[in-house]
Amino acid sequence: MLNIILLGPPGAGKGTQAARLQAERGMVQLSTGDMLRESVASGTPIGLKVKGIMERGELVSDAIVSALIGERLDAAADEGAIFDGFPRTRAQAEALDLLLTERGRHLDYVIELAVDEDELVRRIVGRFSCAKCGTGYHETFRPTKVEGVCDVCGSTEFKRRKDDNEETVRTRMAEYRAKTQPILPYYEAKGLVRRVDGMGPIDRVGAEIDAILDGAA
Ligand code: AMP
């Protein structure tokens, strides 16, 4: 059982790779962004609190996201967890260490997806997903096979994230540089960081990640 973090700026491919690992290896994707979006959509007290923060592209509080991860961590006990979009600050990294230690678990790898910022803006601004099954697409890089029809479930309804516009994306990147990138040395000191070139095609990035998880890199 492996517990890994996918670390990288918005649009680096964390969600895409986490969904693939979940499908292919049965690992469980724990995305705080998805959890928060669910809270917003269902109008829970947490959802009401974080809605505006997310729309601006700022980080929500460490306490909220750490509690969300704590609630879901046990569901990922057998096959391992992929932390996608968490931790994003040093305090969250420390909270995660504690949550894992309390359960007799530990982190195996922190996989950093290295990418170019302008390319990221292009990637993010074209993103959309199936409103029914959640499969992710991109206007240029990953269109549906038949225009307007989901490849997976056949639905014709799609949605876009509210924070996938250029202005918010720039804020999200600035947050990444200021608060998330500085946690890399924390994990480097533990010997956990593996760097992957996130600019290549999805399959190549996936193969590099697989090689790391299979102990070949
Ligand atoms: P994501 O889907 O990972 O890009 O997250 C979307 C938004 O949710 C971010 O821009 C933040 O506002 C919020 N968010 C998600 N995960 C975290 C986290 N670990 N810490 C703080 N804010 C988060």
Residue 47 in this model has a pLDDT that exceeds 70: yes
Q: What are phi and psi of 9, to 5 degrees?
A: -65, 170
At residue 42, the pLDDT reads 97
Residue 17 in this model has a pLDDT that exceeds 90: yes
pTM of the model: 0.89
Residue 216 in this model has a pLDDT that exceeds 90: no
- pLDDT category at 187 given cuts 50, 70, 90 is very high
**CA of residue 189 to ligand 1 center, whole Å:** 25
At residue 31, the pLDDT reads 96
**CA of residue 14 to ligand 1 center, whole Å:** 12
| Catalytic (active site) residue 159 | no
Residue 109 in this model has a pLDDT that exceeds 90: yes
For ligand 1, atom 19: residue with the closest CA: 86
Higher pLDDT residue, 162 or 144?
A: 144
Higher pLDDT residue, 119 or 66?
A: 66
At residue 77, the pLDDT reads 74
Higher pLDDT residue, 68 or 74?
A: 68
- pLDDT category at 123 given cuts 50, 70, 90 is confident
Average pLDDT in the chain = 94
Give the residues surrounding ligand 1 with Cβ less than 6 Å away. 10, 32-33, 36, 53-54, 57-60, 65, 85-86, 88, 92, 163, 172
**DSSP code for 13:** S
At residue 36, the pLDDT reads 97
Nearest CA to 121 out of 208, 12, 8 is that of: 12
Quote the strand ranges of 35-132, DSSP E: 80-84, 109-114, 127-130
Atom of ligand 1 nearest to the CA of 89: 20
At residue 18, the pLDDT reads 97
Residue 135 in this model has a pLDDT that exceeds 90: yes
Residue 76 in this model has a pLDDT that exceeds 80: no
* Strand-strand pairing, 127-130 and 158-159: antiparallel
Distant-in-sequence, close-in-space partners of 69: CB < 8 Å, separation ≥ 6: 30, 32, 83, 86, 95, 96, 99
**CA of residue 147 to ligand 1 center, whole Å:** 30
